[in-house]
């Protein structure tokens, strides 16, 4: 493929990508397109095929059939060239235990032929990386920070993250998500595999949902939000008839237990808040949409059924 054609190609494209382990299916007939400058969320429970997809895309294992391109290059034929332009954080991070964080990152930088020291310094400072203790003495969160830095330090065109915020404290998680938004704004691409629906909703443009090795849906985040069910609990100063809430758009269930009204809601909460404000409110709790419920909504659909 010419440089001009490669520049106009999507960041990731797969064609019936399939990986089987003997008689066990890993992924089957994945057709996916991720655009340049996009943050693409990849969702599914353990064993759904998320990690298998990533490892096959990066030629860490060969597909049984089908093919893929990354940044306009063939995932197998151009594997080495692709790895120069991709940053990857595995979900099963392994580091050299005897090295310090500083030594480990310096070694990886040498393997890449050198990197911008300023970019490395900015990342380690931004994430508060512990650089001068042996890795064997670090917590899971501090190891994860080193994993993030090694994926980001060469300023790659495509970032592939497999459960990147595992073990991180909330402040570092927020910093990471801000950085993801900055990466996308610069025209680079992020492929984010995660169990955390709220995390994905904050930064992703679109999401793919995987079931039993098959890509069952690709949706915009806004569509996902509309399908998601949030659980709202409102405590009033005195009992309130839940019927008024049942009549509101998006409310799929409303029950009352004394002064507490519990709601299941699709979409925005504006109408619910306005209705609640007609009565003295003691407390209001809105729980994030449950990822398992969204999976079940998609998984109830039979394979091949159109949405």
One domain, residues 12 and 88:
yes
CATH number (domain holding residue 233): 3.30.70
- What is the longest distance spanned by two Cα atoms in the chain? 70
Average pLDDT over all residues of the chain:
88
One domain, residues 168 and 23:
yes
**DSSP structure class, residue 189:** E
CATH number (domain holding residue 106): 3.40.50.300
One domain, residues 254 and 139:
no
Structure tokens at 134: 């042996």
Could you tell me if 234 and 283 are in contact, meaning their C-beta atoms sit under 8 angstroms apart?
Answer: yes
The continuous run of DSSP H or E covering 140 comes out as: helix 140-152
One domain, residues 157 and 127:
yes
CA distance 305 to 193: 25
Does residue 233 register a pLDDT over 50? yes
Identify whether 247 is part of a domain: yes
CA distance 20 to 64: 6
What is the tens place of the pLDDT at every residue in 56-76?
999 999 999 999 999 999 999
The continuous run of DSSP H or E covering 121 comes out as: helix 117-127
Does residue 216 register a pLDDT over 50? yes
What is the tens place of the pLDDT at every residue in 144-194?
999 999 999 999 999 999 999 888 899 999 999 999 999 999 999 999 998
Residue of 301, 216, 161, 206 whose CA lies nearest to 31: 216
- Among 225, 244, 276, the domain-final residue is 225
The separation between CA 108 and the C-alpha centre of its own chain, rounded to angstroms, equals 25
Higher-scoring residue by pLDDT: 33, 211:
33
One domain, residues 269 and 198:
no
Identify whether 296 is part of a domain: no
Average pLDDT estimate for 256-265: 93
pLDDT at 300: 58
Identify whether 210 is part of a domain: yes
One domain, residues 250 and 197:
no
Could you tell me if 153 and 78 are in contact, meaning their C-beta atoms sit under 8 angstroms apart?
Answer: no
Structure tokens at 267: 């979409």
One domain, residues 43 and 126:
yes
One domain, residues 153 and 122:
yes
CA distance 231 to 235: 13
Does residue 303 register a pLDDT over 50? no
pLDDT band at 291 (very low <50, low <70, confident <90, very high): low
- Domain range for 189 is 3-225
pLDDT at 151: 95
Could you tell me if 72 and 9 are in contact, meaning their C-beta atoms sit under 8 angstroms apart?
Answer: yes
Structure tokens at 22: 């003997």
Q: Tell me the pairing of strands 260-266 and 229-236.
A: antiparallel
Identify whether 62 is part of a domain: yes
Identify whether 70 is part of a domain: yes
Average pLDDT estimate for 247-258: 91
One domain, residues 217 and 238:
no
Q: 243: number of CA atoms within 13 Å, CB side?
A: 1
Identify whether 294 is part of a domain: no
Give per-residue burial for 83-95: e unless 16+ CB within 10 Å, then b: bebbbbbbbebeb
Provide CB contacts within 8 A for 263, sequence distance 6+. 231, 232, 233, 234, 242, 245, 251, 253, 254, 272
Q: Which residue has the tokens 């290059």?
A: 73
Work out how many domains the chain is built from and give that number. Answer: 2
What is the tens place of the pLDDT at every residue in 6-29?
667 899 999 999 999 888 879 999
CA distance 271 to 65: 50
The separation between CA 175 and the C-alpha centre of its own chain, rounded to angstroms, equals 15
Identify whether 299 is part of a domain: no
**DSSP structure class, residue 302:** P
Q: 293: number of CA atoms within 13 Å, CB side?
A: 15
One domain, residues 235 and 215:
no
pLDDT band at 102 (very low <50, low <70, confident <90, very high): very high
One domain, residues 252 and 123:
no
Identify whether 295 is part of a domain: no
One domain, residues 72 and 99:
yes
Q: What is the pTM of this model?
A: 0.79
pLDDT at 237: 95
């Amino acid at each position: 493929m010419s440089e001009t054609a490669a520049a106009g190609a999507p960041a990731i494209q797969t064609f019936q990508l399939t990986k089987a382990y003997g008689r066990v299916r890993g992924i089957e007939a994945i057709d996916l397109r991720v655009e340049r400058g996009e943050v693409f969320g990849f969702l599914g429970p353990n064993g759904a095929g998320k990690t298998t997809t990533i490892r096959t895309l990066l030629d860490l294992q060969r597909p049984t059939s089908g093919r893929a391109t990354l940044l306009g290059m063939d995932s197998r034929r151009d594997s080495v060239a692709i790895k120069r332009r991709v940053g990857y954080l595995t979900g099963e991070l392994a580091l050299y235990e005897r090295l310090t964080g500083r030594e480990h990152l310096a070694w990886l930088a040498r393997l890449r032929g050198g990197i911008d020291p300023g970019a490395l310094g900015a990342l380690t400072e931004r994430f508060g990386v512990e650089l001068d203790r042996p890795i064997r003495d670090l917590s899971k969160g501090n190891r994860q920070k080193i994993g993030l830095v090694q994926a980001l330090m060469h300023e790659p065109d495509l970032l592939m993250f497999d459960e990147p915020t595992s073990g991180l404290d909330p402040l570092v998680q927020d910093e990471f998500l801000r950085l993801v938004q900055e990466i996308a704004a610069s025209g680079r691409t992020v492929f984010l595999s995660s169990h955390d629906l709220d995390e994905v909703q904050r930064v992703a443009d679109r999401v793919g949902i995987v079931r039993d090795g098959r890509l069952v849906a690709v949706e915009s985040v806004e569509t996902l939000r509309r399908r998601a069910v949030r659980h709202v609990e409102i405590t009033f100063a005195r009992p309130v008839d839940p019927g008024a809430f049942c009549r509101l758009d998006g409310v799929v269930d409303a029950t009352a237990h004394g002064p507490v009204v519990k709601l299941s809601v699709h979409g925005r909460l504006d109408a619910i808040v306005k209705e609640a404000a007609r009565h003295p409110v003691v407390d209001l709790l809105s729980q994030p949409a449950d990822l398992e419920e969204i999976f079940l909504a998609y998984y109830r659909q039979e394979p091949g059924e159109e949405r």
